Amino acid sequence: MTTSPSNDPFFKSPFCAQYWREAKKSLKSLRLLVLAALLVAGRVAITGFPIMVGENLKISFGFFLNALGSLIYGPYVGILTGFATDILGVILHPMGPFFPGYTLTAMAGSFVYALFLYRARITVRRIVLCKLCVNIFVNVGLNCLWSAMLYSKGYLFYLGQSLFKNLLMLPVEIVILLTFLRIMLPVLSSAGLTPPQPTKHIPF
């Protein structure tokens, strides 16, 4: 089991009990819950105006707020914000039938971001691996399954479309997320929302 020393605010991995105990505290923090609500509102506003590139295929840029929130408050609150974002998005910006699978996708995305970014030393490699996992396993793996269940075409049809789009967008999304976190990490640290990173710049 990986542990975090008492003088070290970061965890080497989420596979330790202390990581989950620390994340659970976010559920009792009014400050973090209010922040989570604000980030949900921002995500709903941004994702309500996606760029459509094909049938049931869209590009949305709310992911960087999702990653930021999960970095701050961890997996428990992250899952709740994923649920709230999807439900509110369906209500305010309906784009096709409601399907609970897509709600699960939103929750899973927040969960994966938290596993990689919450109480972690942020590096370029960690951001790349995080975004790769979200795009491949969540955006492609889960969403293709839901599309195949909802529409007439099979899983492989949606897999080809979604895989192409997610791999095409991956470098762009990594650059956006990396740039955004470079700006926000010192702000979050100054506000006492996250521990200060060991270096001023995000190392490889």
Instruction: Give tens-digit pLDDT for 148-203.
Output: 888 878 888 888 888 988 898 899 899 999 999 999 999 999 999 999 988 888 89
CATH fold for the domain made of 17-190:
Arp2/3 complex 21 kDa subunit ARPC3 (1.10.1760)
Q: How far apart are CA 41 and CA 124, in angstroms?
A: 28
SS3 category, 196: coil
Q: How far apart are CA 49 and CA 182, in angstroms?
A: 25
Per-residue pLDDT, 38: 95
Per-residue pLDDT, 59: 65
Please identify which residue in the block is written with the tokens 């640290």. 189
